[in-house]
Amino acid sequence: MSIRLNSVPADEAFIASLEHIPYMAAFDFGRYLIAATTMFVVGWLLKKTIWGYRQIQPRLADSSDYRREFFASLRTCAVFVVAGVGISFGIRTGFLQEVQISLGLWRDVATFAAIIVAHDAYFYWTHRAMHHPRLFKRFHRLHHRSVTPTPFAAYAFDVPEAIVMVAFMPLWLFFVPTAATVISGFLAFMIIRNVMGHAGLELHARWWLNTPLTSWINTTTHHDLHHCGGFNRNYGLYFTWWDRMMGTEHEDYGKEFASNVARPKKAAGGPTSVRVSATA
C-alpha cells in the first residue's frame, strides 16, 4: 500500500524546494560541524587523561590535514544541499515517500533499524567498488589522503563520492515510506558513527570484541585500519557482517584492537601491517 504524499504541481514543488535551501544548508553543515567538533573536543580531552594510551596511531594529524578535511567536507555539504533540493522536490511531487506523521511507534522503530542495516550494506558495496583501480583515483583517493584521519574527515569526499553517498536516501525513499522523524534520527546516527570511526582514539570498551552482543559493531580501530594499514580491508561502516562474510576483514583487527585498549600502550604503536601511501 502506498503512503506517498498527495503531490503538488511540479513548479510549486520546485519553488518550495528552492526556498528551503538555507534550512538544508544549515542542517547538513550544522550536523557535520557539531558532530566533528564535539568528537574532536572529546578526543582531545580524553588524550589528556589516562585514556591517552588509546591513541591508535603514533602520528598526529597536522594543520594541513585538518584544512583539507574541513574544506573537502564543506564541498560535500554543498553537494548534499543540491541533492536535497531534488529529494525535497521528489517528496513534494509524491515520487518519494517521506511522511510527516509517525507510522506508529513499532513501525518507526523497525524502519529505523532497517534503514541502518540497508545503509551499511549500501556503504560496504559502494565503498568497495570505489576501491577498484578504475574508480579509486576519481572517487575515493581524496578521502584516503587522511592516512591519520580526524573527525573532520567524516565528509572529506571528492564530488563523485559525495554523489554516491547522498544517493542512498532517494533510493530508500522511493521504496520505503519513512517518517520524517526516522530520517532525522538516522542522519544523526550516521554522522555520529562516522566521526567515531575517524576519531583516532579507540572509544570502545576492552571487552567489545569478546561478546556476541557487541563484537559485530564496528570500532574506531576497525575503520582506522582501513585508512592506515588495510587499504583493501574493513569496508563496513556500522557493522562487521559484510567484511566477515566476504573475507575482507583485516586479519590483524582483533590483535590491533586488543593492543589499542591495553594498558600500557605499546611503545612503537600503530597497525603492524604495512601502511598504505596516501597517493595509492
- The b-or-e profile of 31-65 (16+ CB within 10 A means b, else e) is bbbebbeebbebbeebeeeebebbbbbeeebeeeb
Q: What is the 3-state secondary structure (H, E, C) of 185-202?
A: HHHHHHHHHHHHHCCCEC
Q: Residue 55: pLDDT above 70?
A: yes
**pLDDT value, residue 3:** 47
Q: Which three cell numbers, joined as nine digits, stand for 27?
A: 542542517
Q: Residue 2: pLDDT above 60?
A: no
Q: How many residues would you count in the chain?
A: 280
Residues 134-152: pLDDT tens digits?
999 999 999 999 999 999 9
Residue type, 5: L
**pLDDT value, residue 6:** 52
Q: Residue 280: pLDDT above 60?
A: no
Residues 202-220: pLDDT tens digits?
999 999 999 999 999 999 9
Q: Which three cell numbers, joined as nine digits, stand for 230?
A: 588495510
Q: Which residue has the higher pLDDT, 50 or 66?
A: 66
- The b-or-e profile of 232-264 (16+ CB within 10 A means b, else e) is ebbbbbbbbbbbeeeebbbebbeebbebbbeee
Residue type, 119: H
Reduced to 3 states, what is the DSSP secondary structure of residue 46?
helix
